[in-house]
Amino acid sequence: MAIQLILTGKVQGVFCRDFCQKNAQALNIKGSASNLADGSVSVLLNTNDEKLISEYIRNLKENPKGFRFFGEIIDIEKKEYNGSFGGDYNF
């Protein structure tokens, strides 16, 4: 089972998908990130490990490794995801 995160704020055109990828790679999580038509970003994580997901979300909010990101994540909505896996920015 996968988890979907919907990131809202200033998240398109600011290296958000790359930022999501680098944070996932640092935790050895496979997934993808896609820009959505409403200006948000969808992140699919191929894990159901709650501890790992919580750490990933915390890293997106706090950016402890200082990865390049020129935007601002205002909110992160988390939900279970059972659809096809993939996106326009795979990691």
Owning domain of residue 45: 2-81
- pLDDT tens per residue across span 42-84: 999 999 999 999 999 999 999 999 999 999 999 999 999 998 8
Residue 74 within a domain = yes
CATH assignment at residue 50: 3.30.70.100
Kindly state whether residue 68 falls inside one of the protein's structural domains.
yes
Query: Does residue 67 lie within any of the structural domains?
Result: yes
pLDDT for residue 16: 98
Is 50 inside any structural domain? yes
User: Helix/strand/coil (H, E, C) string of 23-67?
Assistant: HHHHCCCCEEEEECCCCCEEEEECCCCHHHHHHHHHHHHHCCCCC
**Within a domain: residue 86?**
no
- The structural domain count of the chain equals 1
Which pTM does this prediction carry?
0.94
Please report whether residue 37 resides in a domain.
yes
